[in-house]
Amino acid sequence: MSGRVTQIWRHPIKAHGREALDRVTLRAHHCLPFDRAWAVAHENSDADGSEWVSCGNFSRGVKAPQLMAISTELDEAAGTLTLHHPDRPDLTIDPDRDGTAFLDWVRPLMPAERAQPARLVRAQARGMTDAPFPSITICNMASHRAVEAQIGSPLSIHRWRGNIWLDGLEPWAEWDWVGREIRIGGATLVVRERTGRCAATTVNPETGQRDADTLGALRHWGHTDFSVQAEVTTGGEIAHDDEVTLL
């Protein structure tokens, strides 16, 4: 197996932006640092960040496609997050203090018929990933290219909102890793499950518009899964060009 890390991404506010990293230090049984560290509870949810709850408690791209076009930069030292969107002015906030300013900024991106954002909450126990364990999403560029070929046009990788991207593998090789451990750089992870996908992946992350039948393309292979969910068992640093090894 000759796969290597080509990209690392985190999503500081769940479903509200993405940020590229050159390297990151993983901790055992934790999400990727600052990945889904905050989430946006909607008006029909009582989530306060004190414990993990399912994604239905939060504003998400499947319900509000324009959210998919947000990008971010987190300044860990300053404790500030800058958000960008093609239809909104840039905004820099302290996510733990400036919830009102954030809600004012994001509301114009929300469909009127959907539950509106009510609170920006800090995930106190672990990142608010979709899986009921501290998950890291690992994606295979070859599988992404297979979906592109099935659709017949290029697709942004940001439709999948993955954390670690690998290249140099066969398409769908990641399915064989479920239940096994892999080593990436200085970290070891156990691959727990495949990632079931929703209509958020049909949205173009540059425009916030639905424009590709990603789920229909995946059904060509008899499923609607893309990527795998892994949990860190031994912490360590990972970086671009690190090799992935199946243990």
Q: What is the DSSP string of 106-171?
A: HGGGS-TTSPPEEEEEE-SSS---SSSS--EEEEEHHHHHHHHHHHTS---GGGS--SEEEESS-T
How far apart CA 72 and CA 33 sit, in angstroms, is 15
Mean pLDDT of the chain: 97
Using the predicted structure, report yes or no on whether residue 1 has a pLDDT greater than 90. no
4-30+131-246 falls under which CATH superfamily?
A: PK beta-barrel domain-like (2.40.33.20)
User: Any idea which residue has 């600052």 for tokens?
Assistant: 34
Q: What's the predicted TM-score (pTM) here? A: 0.97
Question: Is the Cβ–Cβ distance between 204 and 178 less than 8 Å?
Answer: no
| Max Cα–Cα distance, the chain, nearest Å | 49
Predicted local confidence at residue 45, as pLDDT: 97
User: Any idea which residue has 């920006």 for tokens?
Assistant: 120
Predicted local confidence at residue 2, as pLDDT: 78
* Mean pLDDT value across residues 31-47: 98
Residue 5 phi, psi dihedral angles, 5° rounding: -75, 125
Model pLDDT for residues 70-91, shown as the tens digit of each residue: 999 999 999 999 999 999 999 9
Model pLDDT for residues 189-224, shown as the tens digit of each residue: 999 999 999 999 999 999 999 999 999 999 999 999
* Mean pLDDT value across residues 126-133: 96
Q: Where in the chain is the domain with CATH 2.40.33.20?
A: 4-30+131-246
- Residues 6 or more apart whose Cβ sits within 8 Å of residue 232: 26, 27, 28, 29, 30, 134, 136, 187, 188, 189
